[in-house]
Chain A
Amino acid sequence: MASSSRAQVISLYRTMLKESQKFSSYNYRTYALRRVRDAFRANGKVEDPVTVERLMEEGRRTLGVIQRQVRHTTDTQHTETRQRQTHTLSFCVVLGFCFCQTNKNVLKSLSFCNFSGFCVIFVSF
């Protein structure tokens, strides 16, 4: 089995930090961010591919725990406003991305992005 590349490790690190940011409890959020950062730093020098693979497996499992617990420990009062915010944001990003990719003309794509952005904000209200 091919060992994980540097890019995969960094991608896992970024995903874990992004998911940890979503904890609604201050203490859990700060702990998850700090622990993930310190764990990746401490294991940064590991060379042996078997150990790297094992650590990556552990990381993926912890990522699953973080994702599930973020859902379970979210305060229900705050869920509505947050969901709307993330939906709007992700929609904008996705649309912007799509338009940038398909249109070669940068100016044209920028105007499309603005237009879609305004549309989306309008729609969500």
Chain B
Amino acid sequence: KEASFTNCRHEILNQLKPCDNFSLIKKRELEKDELRPLYMDFQATTPMDPRVLDAMLPYQVNYYGNPHSRTHAYGWESESAMETARKQQVADLIGADPREIIFTSGATESNNMAIKGVARFYQAKKRHVITTQTEHKCVLDSCRILESEGFSVTYLPVRTDGLLDLEASIRPDTSLVSVMTVNNEIGVKQPIKEIGKICRSKGVFFHTDAAQAIGKIPLNVSDWKIDLMSISGHKIYGPKGVGALYVRRRPRVRLEPLQNGGGQERGLRSGTVPTPLAVGLGAACSIAQQEMEYDHHRVSMLANRLVQKIMSEIPDVIMNGHPEQRYPGCVNLSFAYVEGESLLMALKDVALSSGSACTSASLEPSYVLRAIGADEDLAHSSIRFGIGRFTTEDEVDYTAEKCIQQVRRLREMSPLWEMVQEGIDLKSIKWTQH
């Protein structure tokens, strides 16, 4: 079984003494396929589907023309591939017109373009932007830049289950509302349809970051009245380094371009469109459309299996976020009386994360968990399990067992746990300084 290989790795690593060669040995072991950890971090990134790679390879090797070259066959064939990706694949997945899709370098660029572009275009009359506290860092940072330019930004708080109230904050000078569809840390699905209706009725543009949602839940930009949407390639089993932005044409949304140049992509995003990446994104979208039901069914089944297994064996485990309005593949659990970093280190042979990849370098607990009102200590002890298309039942079972084992071991060592077992209420303790 694959899991036994990772146990071997433990033994090998434990026997080695720390020395200069240690990092070299560890790196070599990580390169061998057998000794790599199980991948359970599908929200950070996803492996490329073999069908996507198969679609991309000819455009990396043989059909390498610039799609904007109008004078020869190399250009024509690249352009035709790019347009197929745009029309039959990306646009089809979200119910849009192909002229409304713009290829970018990823969801971060799409978010920047949408927020800064729309706000700056309409800045003469409208100087207010609304977003939420649980957005991705790129959205929050773009809003911070807008604030420094003189805009006023409202960061809406979210309820403990992650859903929010919007209507009261919309002002006559609001130009944009930005709410992400599925949160990358807690998996909560926002009521996009209702928000879209409110925004349309008040004449405010609605942007949603659908990087985690696209290809996993059915989306339609017309039904949900979305004006701008960000798409990321590497979250739907596509290549890294490509994304797209959906910009509505009827009623027209105007943007100030971030990147100026030769006028490609309707003048909104100049620069050569990377044909192999665009083809990869298109292939990933069309595969996601075909496989959506199968994948959703399977991911829900595996997530339930994981959560049931863990929660039935150990007490004091809390799932962060709404239990029903969520994408099942993103499970964020807080283990009380256990420190998150130590649990992650203990689960060395499973690739997990606590909080999103872009905030994992800092020592602060995740701002998303703080926004949903989780206790400081629970926020520190949260782990995010990501389940995707390629996860197997064996991997889920192994992760659950390892997790239960390590949580029990860490709790044995914890004086807080001892005190709780004796019936002491931790909140009533007066901690003294030495």
Contact = CB atoms under 8 A, between A and B. Distances in A.
Interface of A: 23-28, 30-32, 35, 38, 62, 65-66, 68-69, 72-73, 75, 77-78
10 contacts: A26-B2, A27-B39, A27-B391, A30-B390, A68-B54, A69-B51, A69-B54, A73-B50, A73-B53, A78-B33
A49 to B, nearest CB: 22
Chain A facing B: main interface SS: helix
B352 to A, nearest CB: 16
Given A23-B50, A28-B47, A65-B54, 20 more contacts: A24-B33, A26-B2, A26-B33, A27-B39, A27-B390, A27-B392, A28-B50, A28-B390, A30-B390, A31-B390, A32-B50, A35-B294, A38-B294, A66-B50, A69-B50, A69-B53, A72-B53, A72-B57, A77-B32, A78-B33
A32 B39 CA distance: 17
Contacts of B390: 27-28, 30-31
Give the one of B50, B51, B392 with max A CB within 10 A.
Answer: B50
Contacts of B294: 35, 38
A65 B287 CA distance: 13
In the A-B complex, list the 3 residue pairs whose CB atoms are closest, starting with the nearest: A69-B50, A27-B390, A65-B54
Contacts of A31: 389-390
Contacts of B50: 23, 28, 32, 65-66, 69, 73
Contacts of A75: 33
Interface string B384-402: 0000011110000000000
Contacts of A32: 50
A35 B389 CA distance: 10
Contacts of A73: 50, 53
Interface string B7-38: 00000000000000000000000001100000
B265 to A, nearest CB: 30
B: interface residue count bin = 10 to 19
A76 to B, nearest CB: 11
Nearest to A31: B390
Contacts of B57: 68, 72
Nearest to B39: A27
Interface in B33-75: 33, 39, 47, 50-51, 53-54, 57
B33 A27 contact: no
Nearest to B32: A77
Contacts of B32: 77
A93 to B, nearest CB: 27
A12 B32 CA distance: 33
Nearest to A32: B50
Give the one of B32, B39, B294, B390 with max A CB within 10 A.
Answer: B390
Interface in B247-267: none
Contacts of A24: 33
Contacts of A26: 2, 33
A38 B291 CA distance: 12
A116 B105 CA distance: 59
A30 B33 contact: no
Contacts of A72: 53, 57
A40 B391 CA distance: 20
B350 to A, nearest CB: 14
Nearest to A28: B50
A27 B47 contact: yes
A20 to B, nearest CB: 10
Contacts of B389: 31
Contacts of A68: 54, 57
Interface in B84-133: none
Contacts of A28: 47, 50, 390
A54 B39 CA distance: 35
A32 B49 CA distance: 10
Contacts of B391: 27
Contacts of A23: 50
Give the one of B33, B39, B54 with max A CB within 10 A.
Answer: B54
Nearest to A34: B392
B388 to A, nearest CB: 9
B33 A25 contact: yes
Nearest to B47: A27
Contacts of B2: 26
Nearest to A38: B294
A56 B14 CA distance: 52
A13 B248 CA distance: 44
Nearest to B53: A69
A72 B54 CA distance: 9
Nearest to B291: A35
Contacts of B39: 27
A97 B220 CA distance: 58
Contacts of A27: 39, 47, 390-392
A69 B55 CA distance: 11
A82 B10 CA distance: 26
Contacts of B51: 62, 65, 69
Nearest to B392: A30
A1 B47 CA distance: 40
